[in-house]
Amino acid sequence: MEQTVTRTVPGTARPAGSAVAEDRGAPHLAVVCVTYAVAALVFNVAPSYVSTLIDGYHLNETQAGLVATVDMLAMAVTGFVAGPFLARVGRRRLLGAGAASFLLGNALSVWGTGLTTLLATRLVAGVGAGLILVFANTMAATTRNPTRSYGLATMTATVVGALLLFTVPALISSFGHQALFVTMLALGVLVALLVPRERAQRLTVQAQATPADRLSDGMLRLLSGAAMAMMVVQSAYYSFAQQAAEHAGLTSAAAGTALSVGYGFGILTSALAAWLDARWGRWKPVALSMALQAASSIAVLTGTDTTVVTVALVAQSGALFFGIPYLLSLNAEADTSGRFSNIGVGLFFFSLAVGPFAGGLLLDDYGYVGIAVAVAVGTLAGLAALAPVTRALAARSATPTPTS
């Protein structure tokens, strides 16, 4: 029986007859949001995470950055290397394996006492987060409207991050630095509760690739390179944002509050991205958000006025979380067969994983100014690489769609 593969304008809703579109409704979207929020947990609480490692475990900046990098790197490598294969296994099996590894790693981290132990336990937790990420990303990328799905998932992750940035310092003050990993363990239990509800069927229905489904390999490499350039430097900044704010004169409580408010702002901007979808095209929202977040990051890293730094902390989160849904959805739009999605998102989180260690090295050698220079260079390079990709997507959208 002949199959019809209908391509639509990327960034807009896919038709019901699409081979990759699955409209599973609100329950499906809720599962995407919850699992994505847990998978992205370490990045979203990076300031508290790094501060806990430094203050609670007495690690230096480079060691704390290394632990955070190993955690996120395990997640990213799992998504990048195994994603294309795992996306074809049973949904229940994949989510169950991810939840089990995530729970085990965080449970062992509660009793961690040193750098070596933490590196091992966070590796286990990171692999679990990577399996959960493959599950969440594949389900989001195969919905009718990936930008909306990623926007709502990012908004949910931002809500969770804001709550944790606000509550974790108080929990640590009352119960000790292990409270961070206990909180992660509790969120892992929430994912585990979703496992019995998942179907045993495969996650995706892969369509046969055609030239109309996929940008060229060169454009896919440019897209990956652009996202990596911007996210490495942004993660380097974000991991030490709280320390930079304190260096500028804010108290630890004031810096944490500003980061939480910034996450609240990010909730609104990620919701805005989900609502706007492709109304502003592809290039404008990404360029605007990445330029604003870079300027705000540099203001935090080099500022001395506490009011300016506080405003910049809030603005940076809002700008970044507006742009992230667009960057993630570009992976799905660049290859509508769904094959590139997990590779692209795996590289995205790989970049976030490298950031804490890179930031620690820059901070040790050049101070906060070194990270500020890296943010400026990485953002400009990323936007330059992304421009031809968005032009190619616009040109493809204008091409008449063949059917077979």
- In whole angstroms, give the CA distance from residue 389 to residue 221: 10
Judge contact between 255 and 374, C-beta under 8 A. Answer: no
Whether residue 113 is predicted with pLDDT greater than 80 in this model: the reply is: no
Whether residue 24 is predicted with pLDDT greater than 70 in this model: the reply is: no
Residue of 329 and 123 predicted with greater confidence: 123
Q: What mean pLDDT comes out for the span 346-363?
A: 83
- In whole angstroms, give the CA distance from residue 178 to residue 190: 19
User: So what's the pLDDT on residue 86?
Assistant: 67
The encoded tokens of residue 24 equal 């599973």
- In whole angstroms, give the CA distance from residue 32 to residue 157: 11
Q: How confident is the model at residue 270 (pLDDT cuts 50, 70, 90)?
A: confident
The encoded tokens of residue 64 equal 């704390």
User: So what's the pLDDT on residue 346?
Assistant: 73
- In whole angstroms, give the CA distance from residue 106 to residue 8: 42
Q: How confident is the model at residue 218 (pLDDT cuts 50, 70, 90)?
A: confident
Residue of 308 and 167 predicted with greater confidence: 308
- From 87-91, 203-207, 358-362, the region with the lowest mean pLDDT: 203-207
Residue of 144 and 20 predicted with greater confidence: 144
Judge contact between 328 and 224, C-beta under 8 A. Answer: no
78: Cβ contacts below 8 Å, ≥ 6 apart: 126, 127, 129, 130, 131, 133, 134, 346
- Listed as own residue / partner, the contacts of 12-15 with beta carbons closer than 8 Å and 24 or more positions apart are 12/145, 12/277, 12/278, 13/144, 13/145, 14/143, 14/144, 14/145, 14/336, 15/144
Whether residue 349 is predicted with pLDDT greater than 80 in this model: the reply is: no
User: So what's the pLDDT on residue 378?
Assistant: 95
Residue of 74 and 141 predicted with greater confidence: 74
- In whole angstroms, give the CA distance from residue 281 to residue 8: 15
Neighbouring C-alpha atoms within 13 Å toward the C-beta of 70 = 17
Reduce the DSSP state of residue 200 to 3 states and report it: coil
Q: How confident is the model at residue 191 (pLDDT cuts 50, 70, 90)?
A: very high
- In whole angstroms, give the CA distance from residue 350 to residue 76: 5
Residue 90 bridge partners (DSSP): 202
* Chain centre distance of CA 400: 34
395: Cβ contacts below 8 Å, ≥ 6 apart: none
Query: For 85-106, what is each residue's pLDDT tens digit?
Result: 666 777 888 899 999 999 999 9
DSSP 8-state class, residue 78: I
User: So what's the pLDDT on residue 112?
Assistant: 75
Whether residue 233 is predicted with pLDDT greater than 60 in this model: the reply is: yes
Q: How confident is the model at residue 10 (pLDDT cuts 50, 70, 90)?
A: very low
Q: How confident is the model at residue 4 (pLDDT cuts 50, 70, 90)?
A: very low
Distances (CA, A) of 123 to 47, 127, 239, 287, 361: 19, 6, 18, 34, 21
Tell me what percent of the residues of the chain surpass a pLDDT of 90: 26
Q: How confident is the model at residue 83 (pLDDT cuts 50, 70, 90)?
A: low
Among the listed residues 299, 254, 336, 349, the one whose alpha carbon sits nearest the alpha carbon of residue 46: 349
Query: For 363-389, what is each residue's pLDDT tens digit?
Result: 988 999 999 999 999 999 999 999 999
Whether residue 211 is predicted with pLDDT greater than 60 in this model: the reply is: no
How high is the mean pLDDT of the chain? 81
Whether residue 25 is predicted with pLDDT greater than 70 in this model: the reply is: no
Q: What mean pLDDT comes out for the span 136-164?
A: 78
Q: What mean pLDDT comes out for the span 10-37?
A: 59
User: So what's the pLDDT on residue 5?
Assistant: 34
The encoded tokens of residue 192 equal 């585990």
Whether residue 81 is predicted with pLDDT greater than 80 in this model: the reply is: no
Residue 214 bridge partners (DSSP): 335
Q: Return the H-helix or E-strand segment holding 310.
A: helix 306-334
User: So what's the pLDDT on residue 353?
Assistant: 79
User: So what's the pLDDT on residue 169?
Assistant: 78
Neighbouring C-alpha atoms within 13 Å toward the C-beta of 148 = 14
Whether residue 338 is predicted with pLDDT greater than 70 in this model: the reply is: no
